[in-house]
Chains A and B, each alone.
Chain A
Amino acid sequence: MNIENRASPSIVVVDYGMGNLRSVQKGLEKAGCRATVSSDPSRIESASGIVLPGVGAFRDCMANLVNSRLVDPVLGAIEENKPFLGICLGMQLLLAVSEEFGTHEGLGVVPGRVVRFDRNKNLKVPHMGWNRVHFSGPSPLFKGIPDASYFYFVHSYYADPDNSDVVSGWTNYGIRFCSSISTGNIFACQFHPEKSQHWGLKILENFGNIVVGQKEG
């Protein structure tokens, strides 16, 4: 039983009513992880790793997280140093404040703001499609993935952390923006690994390995 647990860590994909989580779960499974989609706080508390996905508007995501009583379990998991992966809105929610449709508070795990792409730069917004992620240094999340690989993005806002040391990847779209975060056991990507073909699946596999390593360590 221990062997099975080691081989397939239990990852909970947090379900708070924001978008389709099936592909995130499928991607984790394809990468060899045991993944459950759940909105049950006790499942989150007992998980070895947490994935927080999210699509739509920041305000709605945060409101749903609050209404589902999932803020404390998610923050608790992060405080316990459990591996955490935020995807798209799930990354933006880590920040302190968002400027989407007024000013809204996020989880505040990462100091900084969530800001909009500047339409005046003749940019199509949302930033939709495949763009390169330039790694700012080695990260266990990017193990085995060539620098400047393409990942699938769809978003109109991006995270702007106060401390650029937490930025693990940059992407160019009008400006250079933070497309991934890595600090301690907190990982996040603005792009969708579950929609980014083989390199995306590799990220989910890497996250699974981080969770296994953590459990064994």
Chain B
Amino acid sequence: MTGGSGELARRIIPCLDVTEGRVVKGVQFVNLIDAGDPVEIAEEYDRQGADEITFLDITASSDRREILLDVVKRTAETVFIPLTVGGGVRSLENIRELLKAGADKVSINTEAVHQPRFVREASLKFGSQCIVVAIDAKRVADPNGKPSWEVYIYGGREPAGIDAVQWARQMEEYGAGEILLTSMDRDGTRDGYDIDLTSAITETVSIPVIASGGAGTLEHLYEGLVMGGASAVLAASIFHFREFTVQETKEYLHSRDVAVRF
């Protein structure tokens, strides 16, 4: 457990992958299954006691932005917990629009790699508290057995040639307020988070890290928080398909001495 964090609760964050205003869940970023209306699902998670909601717009082509902004606006009308929105965030104007629509944080991924300066400008302009840097990381085969991970961009389609741990440190220096860390190897597998990756990053940066990619059981969430040292866990399918409610998840974590909010 993180030393000295007192009574700060670990956060449970359902993630809604959104395309054209509908929620889908990607299995290793392909094979999409439609799972419903984002506003209704966000309201349901709010009722269940979710600590935050994250929308990732996985198409994010420019002509779809209005639809996304409308979804954000409608969600912010009824859901009074923090809302993070990511996907295709490329400019200060994009960020301004999302915050104005009611997002509390925006998550930047590909554009941070293209232009690290963008993260600095965004955090100076809007404050670090609303700038999340999303890192998609994939394990690199290493003959010496010491694991390392490479950053991927464009929704996990293209390697960026950057070391993930190094990158997380740089993004913290550039003013990121939080890291959303997704294991490309685990995403959609339901085999659990990549704990080596998660702890490598949480031990490196002093900003909060959200573990993502691979959660299939409640035990996995526990591992991400306690063994990985994550401040929060993000999950999609275990919540979307009603295997567990957020409430049940928190009861489980509480029973294992993890501080959670009820």
Contact = CB atoms under 8 A, between A and B. Distances in A.
Interface of A: 19-20, 22-23, 26-27, 30, 55-57, 119, 121-132, 150, 152, 154-156, 171-174, 194-198, 200-201
B81 interface: yes
A30 B78 CA distance: 9
B261 A150 contact: yes
B232 interface: yes
B80 interface: yes
Contact of A20 (B2, B4, B11, B99): B99
A128 B100 contact: no
10 smallest CB-CB distances across A and B, nearest first, come from: A172-B6, A56-B127, A122-B3, A150-B261, A130-B261, A130-B9, A154-B129, A174-B4, A121-B4, A132-B7
Interface in B42-89: 46, 51, 76-77, 80-82
A173 B8 contact: yes
A23 B11 contact: no
A126 B76 contact: no
A200 B232 CA distance: 21
B102 interface: yes
Interface in B176-220: 177-178, 206-208
A197 B129 contact: no
Given A23-B76, A195-B81, A122 B99 contact: no
Interface string B1-43: 0111111111100000000000000000000000000000000
Given A27-B80, A119-B206, A129-B208, A55 B178 contact: no
Contacts of A152: 51, 81-82
A144 B8 CA distance: 22
B104 interface: yes
Chain B interface, >50% SS class = loop
Interface of B: 2-11, 46, 51, 76-77, 80-82, 99-100, 102-104, 126-130, 177-178, 206-208, 231-232, 261-262
Nearest to A27: B80
A22 B8 contact: no
Contact of B104 (A20, A56, A198): A20
A126 B207 CA distance: 6
Contacts of B8: 127, 129-131, 173
A122 B4 contact: yes
B230 to A, nearest CB: 10
B127 A19 contact: yes
Contacts of B206: 119, 123-125
B177 A197 contact: no
Most chain A CB within a 10 A radius of its CB, from B99, B208, B261: B261
Contacts of A22: 76, 100, 102
B81 A126 contact: no
Contacts of A56: 126-127, 129
